Amino acid sequence: MTKALVYARVSTDKQADNTSISKQVESAQEYCKANDIKTVSIYKEEASAKNIEGREQFKKMYKHLMEDEEIKFIIAYKLDRLFRNFSDAIFFLERVKEAKKVIICITDNINTKDPNAKMLYLLNALQAEKERENISTNTVSGMVKKATAGYFQGGIVFGYESVSKRLRIIPEEAAVIQYIYNKYVYNQWGYKKIANNLNLQGFKTKKNNDWTINAVKTILENKIYIGFTKWKGEYTKGQHEPIISEDLWNKAQNLKAKKSYTPTKIHPGTFPLSGLLKCPQCGSPMVQGNSSEKYKYYQCNKNKSSGSKACSSNLIIKEYAEEAVLDILIPHLNKLNVSAILSTIINSNLGNNLKSLNDEVNSLNNSLKSIQKKIKKIAYLYLEEAEDSKQIKDKTFSYLIGELEDEEEETLTKLDRLNKQINLQNNFNVKSNVEYVTNHLKDFINIISDEEKKFLFHFIIKEVHVSQGARPKEREIKDVIYLFDYEDISHSA
């Protein structure tokens, strides 16, 4: 159920009519009930003020709305209960839209989820200002002045706490910020390694969550730590004390630009079966899910774009789905004259520069030696030290060795794939390779890139049906529907 906040404000010039606070709240609750919306909190402004700065309940409501991701709506009886100042109304609308939330004003028939509601919203805001020209609220301009003067405009930032719009350093969190920058710049640690080490030491994020790749990346991109504040996309020199030096910041940004690191996707394109797999529940295409480096899934596109109300995720494991489709596809391909399409794929795959592949192999071999050296060093420290003076505890040892062994296995897998590609290039001959691939289709398809697999799959397959299942491992590939039959492809060869 969608969640909302309700805001009601006293009207000093309309106390006698039916727009009292109780009436406003009653109307909002009726609206929520009729539209299947859950009211989380009701903010009542019992004492009227000349501007928003004097409205304590409004400020609490605004803070709640911006900080709680589950809150999607702010509901008021009428727009003039929220604002009597046109600039305030525009500012609030922009901030709410940026946060992907919605303003609903019941009697004005305003719902900003509707793209056409903006004009109605602006007209009502302008009318509200004209009706109360004697009330001079200049909160937005005040916020602009404060923002351009470097005062913090709200939100939660790791490393600081906000005191009267000024940021004050939290020493314990500042130490974590410095640790992240130092390890990234001087130790050449990646996002994942930094996050893992913070979690191993028991540190948590501002919201008491474990550290993730994206959390570390966000810290390394935030100029607030060198003394700047951000408002409406623009940075201004702030009034707060920086946590790191500009020199360290610049080194981190230069290093980040060189790495061009993409944290969660190994392949820049979509998964090979994206769009071909059909959701077993709603029939929509299944696409690349929000996968981690370790776990990769296909996911219902309707669920991914519209949420669980539209459909369940119906995840199916990427590796299994592609292997199962190949098991069905290979016997079919063996019956067809696919030399033309295979020649295209071979030329694309084997046309890569051999020197580039060898350079990559050399780099991976160096990485492998470094990993294996670290494993030996950690094992030595663990095994050789006396029990009462161990430098590495059992739990830490298991964690570190496990991480390094995973890294070692991943490196070996990459080396195996690259060596197979090099072997193919060294024996390059279109005719013989087409013949080889025709006789070893599965081996060939397993070593080509996801982009080339996608090209092949989409050239031949119309759609792939998936069976129902309560969990990803229980869902299976039912059947594969092809774009053409034997006669079609033979005639086009």
Handedness of CA 329, 330, 331, 332 (dihedral sign): positive
Residue 311 forms part of a structural domain: no
Range among 3-12, 69-78, 340-349, 364-373 rated most confident: 69-78
Hey, what's the torsion of the CAs at 178, 179, 182, 186, to 10 degrees? 170
pLDDT computed for residue 227 by the predictor? 85
Q: Please report the pLDDT score of residue 407 as a whole number.
A: 87
Q: How many domains does the chain have?
A: 3
At 455, which amino acid appears? Answer: F
pTM over 0.85: no
Is there a contact between 42 and 6 (Cβ–Cβ < 8 Å)?
A: yes
Average pLDDT for 208-219: 88
Tokens of 469: 């299942």
342 in the same domain as 211: no
The 10s digit of each residue's pLDDT in 431-464 is 665 666 666 767 777 777 788 788 888 878 899 9
How far apart are alpha carbons 37 and 27 in whole angstroms? 13
Would residue 33 count as lying in a domain?
yes
| Distance from the first to the final alpha carbon of the chain | 55
As a whole number, mean pLDDT of residues 113-125 equals 80
Q: Based on the domain organization, do 345 and 486 belong to the same domain?
A: yes
**301 vs 135: CA distance, rounded Å:** 50
pLDDT of residue 150: 46
Same domain as 129, residue 48:
yes
CA separation for the pair 302, 182 (Å, rounded)? 42
Backbone angles phi, psi at 210, to 5 degrees: -70, 155
User: Alpha-carbon distance 192 to 114, whole Å?
Assistant: 40
Last residue of a domain, one of 119, 146, 173: 146
For residues 159-184, average pLDDT? 89
If you ran DSSP here, which 8-state letter would residue 335 be given? Answer: T
As a whole-number percent, the residues of the chain with pLDDT over 90 amount to 30
CA distance 472 to 44: 47
Query: What average pLDDT does range 458-486 have in this prediction?
Result: 86
Last residue of a domain, one of 202, 231, 259: 259
Mean pLDDT score of the chain, rounded to an integer?
A: 79
In a 3-state reduction of DSSP, which class is residue 222? coil
160 and 99 share one domain: no
Q: Does residue 371 sit in the same domain as residue 413?
A: yes
β partners of residue 191: none
Decide if pLDDT at 230 tops 60.
Answer: yes
Q: Are residues 124 and 154 in the same domain?
A: no
The mean pLDDT value for 194-204 works out to 84
Q: What is the C-alpha to C-alpha distance for residues 45 and 58, in angstroms, rounded to an integer?
A: 7
> Which pLDDT score, from 0 to 100, does residue 45 have?
87
Amino acid at 285: P
Determine the average pLDDT of the residues in 257-274.
59
DSSP annotation string for 369-405 = HHHHHHHHHHHHHHHHS-GGG-SS-HHHHHHHHHHHH
Domain range enclosing 174:
149-259
Same domain, 339 and 458: yes
CA pseudo-torsion sign 319, 324, 326, 327: positive
Q: What is the pLDDT of residue 42?
A: 96
Same domain, 39 and 168: no
In this prediction, residue 138 carries a pLDDT of 42
In a domain, 78, yes or no: yes
Write down the pLDDT at residue 303: 82
Inside any domain, residue 62: yes
Asked which of 100, 117, 146 is the last residue of a domain, the reply is: 146
Is 227 or 325 the better-scoring residue by pLDDT? Answer: 325
Instruction: Give the integer Cα–Cα distance in Å for 401 and 393.
Output: 12
Neighbour tally for 417: CB within 10 Å: 14
* Sequence letter at residue 337: N
Query: Rounded to 5 degrees, what are φ and ψ at 274?
Result: -60, 130
Active site residue ranges: 11
Q: What is the pLDDT of residues 68-89, one digit of tens each?
A: 999 999 999 998 888 877 778 8
Q: Is residue 317 part of a domain?
A: no
pLDDT for residue 37 is more than 60: yes
* pLDDT score of 181: 95
34-48, 163-177, 216-230, 257-271, range with the lowest pLDDT: 257-271
Supply 27's token pair. Answer: 């109307």
Shared-domain flag, residues 117 and 181: no
User: Residue 273 region, left (φ>0) first, then alpha (ψ -120 to 50), else beta?
Assistant: alpha
Say which CATH number the domain at 188 has.
3.90.1750.20
Q: How confident is the model at residue 345 (pLDDT cuts 50, 70, 90)?
A: low
Six token digits for residue 435 = 């013949």
Q: Does residue 22 share a domain with residue 130?
A: yes
Among 222-226, 236-240, 276-280, the range with the most confident prediction by mean pLDDT is: 276-280
Among 179-183, 274-278, 418-422, the minimum mean pLDDT is found in 418-422
pLDDT reading at 490 higher than 60: no
- DSSP 8-state secondary structure symbol assigned to residue 285: B
State mean pLDDT over 369-385.
76
Same domain, 342 and 453: yes
Domain shared by 350 and 435, yes or no: yes
What are the φ/ψ torsions at residue 168 (nearest 5 degrees)? Answer: -120, 130
Residue 424's pLDDT is: 67
C-beta atoms surrounding 210 within 10 Å: 12
The CATH number for 20's domain is 3.40.50.1390
Average pLDDT over every residue of 249-257: 89
Would residue 285 count as lying in a domain?
no
Rounded to whole angstroms, the Cα distance separating 48 from 25 reads 16
**pLDDT score recorded for residue 142:** 47
Mark 53-63 as b/e (b = at least 16 C-beta within 10 Å).
eebebbeebbe
User: Does some domain include residue 279?
Assistant: no
Predicted pLDDT at 35: 92
**Structural domain includes residue 284:** no
Q: What are the DSSP calls for 287-322, one per residue?
A: EE-S--SS--EEEEHHHHHH-TTT-----EEHHHHH
Per-residue pLDDT for 176 more than 90?
yes
Contact 196, 244 (CB under 8 A): no
